Structure 1
Amino acid sequence: MRLVSSKIFTMVGWIYQPILISLAVLLITLSDKVHGGKILVYPLDGSHWVNMKFIVEALHSNGHDITVVRASNSWYIKENSHLYTSITIPNTGGFDEDFFTELVLGKYLKIQREHGQSFYTQMKLQSLLTESFFKFHKNMAEVISRVLDDDQLIRSLQEAKFDVVLTDPSVAGGTMLARRLGLPLVHNVRWTVQGEAHMVLAPSPLSYVPFVASELTDKMTFPQRVSNVLTYFIGSYTLASQTEPNYKPVVLRHFGPDVDYDTFFQVADIWLMRTDFVFDFPRPTMPNIVYVSGFQCSPANPLPPDLERFVQSSGEHGIIMMTLGTLLATLPEEIADEIAAGFAMLPQKVIWRYTGPPPSTLGNNTLLVDWIPQNDLLGHPKTRVFVAHGGTNGVQEAIYHGVPLVGLPLLLDQPDNLSKLTARGAAKVVNILTMDRRVFREAIEAVLYEPSYRENMQRLSGLHRDQPIKPLDKAVFWIEFVMRHKGAAHLRTESYKMSWVVYYSVDVIGTLLACVLLVVLVSLAVVRWVCRKVFCKRKVKKE
Structure 2
Amino acid sequence: MKLICCCCALLLLIHTPRACQAGNILVLPAEGSHWLNMDILLQDLHSRGHNITIVCSSKSWYIKENASYYNTIRVEVDRGIDELMSEEKLSKVIEIQKGSLPWMNFLQISVDMYNMIIEFHQLLCDFLSALLDDQDLMRNLKESKFDLLLTDPCWGVGTILAKYLNLPLVYNVRWLMAQEAHLAVAPSPISYIPITGSGNTDKMSFFQRVNNMLLYLVPQIQNYVVAKLVYQKICDKYLGLGKDFNQLMLDADIWLMRVDFVFEYPRPTMPNVVYIGGFQCKPAKPLPQHLEEFVESSGEHGVIIMSMSMFVSELPADMTNKIAEAFAKLPQKVIWRHKGDRPATLGNNTLLVDWMPQNDLLGHPKIKLFVAHGGTNGVQEAMYHGVPVVGLPTFFDQYDNLLRLKDRGAAKIITFATVDKDNNFFEAVQEVLNEPSYRINMQRLSRLHRDQPIKPMDNAIFWIEFVMRHGGAAHLKTESYRLPWYSYHSVDVIIFLLTVALLILFILVRLVLSCCRLCLKRKLKSD
Aligned-partner residue type, residue 270 of structure 2: M
**1:275–1:294: 8 Å Cα contact kept in structure 2?**
yes
**2:132–2:138: 8 Å Cα contact kept in structure 1?**
yes
The 1:466/1:27 distance shift into structure 2, 3 A limit, reads farther
Aligned-partner residue type, residue 213 of structure 2: V
The 1:119/1:423 distance shift into structure 2, 3 A limit, reads farther
1:508 aligns with 2:493: yes
1:38 aligns with 2:24: yes
1:277 aligns with 2:264: no
Partner in structure 1 of residue 54 of structure 2: 68
Partner in structure 1 of residue 414 of structure 2: 430
The 1:27/1:108 distance shift into structure 2, 3 A limit, reads farther
Partner in structure 1 of residue 478 of structure 2: 493
Instruction: Report the CA distance between 1:102 and its aligned residue.
Output: 2.9
Q: TM-score, normalised by structure 1?
A: 0.92
Instruction: Report the CA distance between 1:472 and its aligned residue.
Output: 0.8
1:89 aligns with 2:75: yes
Partner in structure 2 of residue 450 of structure 1: 435
**1:45–1:96: 8 Å Cα contact kept in structure 2?**
no
One of 461, 464, 467 as aligned partner of 2:449? 464
Instruction: Report the CA distance between 1:263 and its aligned residue.
Output: 1.4
Aligned-partner residue type, residue 28 of structure 2: Y
Partner SS state of residue 290, structure 1 = strand
- Distance of 2:137 and 2:144 partners within structure 1: 11
Partner in structure 2 of residue 202 of structure 1: 186
Unpaired runs of at least 5, structure 2: none
Aligned residues: 522
Identity across the alignment (%): 51
Deviates further, 236-245 or 312-321:
236-245
Partner in structure 2 of residue 518 of structure 1: 503
Instruction: Report the CA distance between 1:84 and its aligned residue.
Output: 0.8
Instruction: Report the CA distance between 1:238 and its aligned residue.
Output: 3.3
Instruction: Report the CA distance between 1:284 and its aligned residue.
Output: 0.2
**1:137–1:243: 8 Å Cα contact kept in structure 2?**
no
**2:262–2:448: 8 Å Cα contact kept in structure 1?**
yes
1:77 aligns with 2:63: yes
Instruction: Report the CA distance between 1:125 and its aligned residue.
Output: 4.8
- Distance of 1:60 and 1:294 partners within structure 2: 19
1:211 aligns with 2:195: yes
1:56 aligns with 2:34: no
Partner in structure 1 of residue 465 of structure 2: 480
The 1:378/1:25 distance shift into structure 2, 3 A limit, reads farther
1:267 aligns with 2:251: yes
Q: TM-score, normalised by structure 2?
A: 0.94
Aligned-partner residue type, residue 465 of structure 2: E
Partner in structure 2 of residue 3 of structure 1: none
> What CA deviation, in whole Å up to 9, does each residue of 1:427-475 have, x standing for no partner?
1011124322621111100010000100110000000000111111111
The 1:36/1:301 distance shift into structure 2, 3 A limit, reads same
Instruction: Report the CA distance between 1:124 and its aligned residue.
Output: 4.8
Instruction: Report the CA distance between 1:538 and its aligned residue.
Output: 3.0
The 1:325/1:194 distance shift into structure 2, 3 A limit, reads closer
Partner in structure 1 of residue 513 of structure 2: 528
1:366 aligns with 2:350: yes
**1:131–1:242: 8 Å Cα contact kept in structure 2?**
no
Instruction: Report the CA distance between 1:45 and its aligned residue.
Output: 0.9
One of 359, 383, 393 as aligned partner of 1:375? 359
Superposition map of 1:221-300 within 5 A? 221-300=205-284
Partner in structure 1 of residue 335 of structure 2: 351
The 1:26/1:406 distance shift into structure 2, 3 A limit, reads farther
- Distance of 1:223 and 1:61 partners within structure 2: 51
- Distance of 2:96 and 2:510 partners within structure 1: 67
**1:35–1:62: 8 Å Cα contact kept in structure 2?**
no
- Distance of 2:328 and 2:520 partners within structure 1: 98
Aligned-partner residue type, residue 428 of structure 1: K
Partner SS state of residue 459, structure 1 = helix
- Distance of 2:139 and 2:245 partners within structure 1: 25
Instruction: Report the CA distance between 1:299 and its aligned residue.
Output: 0.4
**1:75–1:97: 8 Å Cα contact kept in structure 2?**
no
The 1:407/1:97 distance shift into structure 2, 3 A limit, reads farther
> What CA deviation, in whole Å up to 9, does each residue of 1:98-139 have, x standing for no partner?
72423223x3224555x5278767655533432222211111
- Distance of 1:95 and 1:26 partners within structure 2: 51
Instruction: Report the CA distance between 1:24 and its aligned residue.
Output: 8.8
Deviates further, 117-126 or 507-516:
117-126
CA RMSD of aligned residues (A): 2.2
Partner SS state of residue 197, structure 2 = helix
> What CA deviation, in whole Å up to 9, does each residue of 1:339-394 have, x standing for no partner?
11111111111000112111111110110001110000000000000000000000
The 1:260/1:121 distance shift into structure 2, 3 A limit, reads same
Superposition map of 1:65-144 within 5 A? 65-96=51-82, 99-105=85-91, 107-112=92-97, 116=100, 123-144=107-128
The 1:530/1:110 distance shift into structure 2, 3 A limit, reads closer
- Distance of 1:433 and 1:323 partners within structure 2: 19
- Distance of 2:471 and 2:60 partners within structure 1: 31
Aligned-partner residue type, residue 338 of structure 1: K
Aligned-partner residue type, residue 508 of structure 1: V
Instruction: Report the CA distance between 1:530 and its aligned residue.
Output: 1.8
Partner SS state of residue 99, structure 1 = coil
- Distance of 2:323 and 2:227 partners within structure 1: 37
Aligned-partner residue type, residue 461 of structure 2: V
The 1:350/1:97 distance shift into structure 2, 3 A limit, reads farther
> What CA deviation, in whole Å up to 9, does each residue of 1:163-212 have, x standing for no partner?
01000000011111111111111000000125211000000001111111
Aligned-partner residue type, residue 279 of structure 2: F
- Distance of 1:25 and 1:231 partners within structure 2: 56
Partner in structure 2 of residue 185 of structure 1: 169
Partner SS state of residue 367, structure 1 = strand
> What CA deviation, in whole Å up to 9, does each residue of 1:290-318 have, x standing for no partner?
00001110000000001100111111110
**2:84–2:116: 8 Å Cα contact kept in structure 1?**
no
Partner SS state of residue 360, structure 1 = coil
**1:321–1:383: 8 Å Cα contact kept in structure 2?**
yes
The 1:196/1:439 distance shift into structure 2, 3 A limit, reads same
Deviates further, 474-483 or 123-132:
123-132
**1:402–1:457: 8 Å Cα contact kept in structure 2?**
yes
Instruction: Report the CA distance between 1:92 and its aligned residue.
Output: 3.2
- Distance of 1:276 and 1:300 partners within structure 2: 21
1:396 aligns with 2:380: yes
**2:95–2:101: 8 Å Cα contact kept in structure 1?**
no
Instruction: Report the CA distance between 1:234 and its aligned residue.
Output: 2.5
Partner SS state of residue 188, structure 1 = strand
Deviates further, 500-509 or 39-48:
500-509
1:173 aligns with 2:173: no
**1:389–1:407: 8 Å Cα contact kept in structure 2?**
yes
> What CA deviation, in whole Å up to 9, does each residue of 1:209-245 have, x standing for no partner?
1111212111111111111111111332234334541
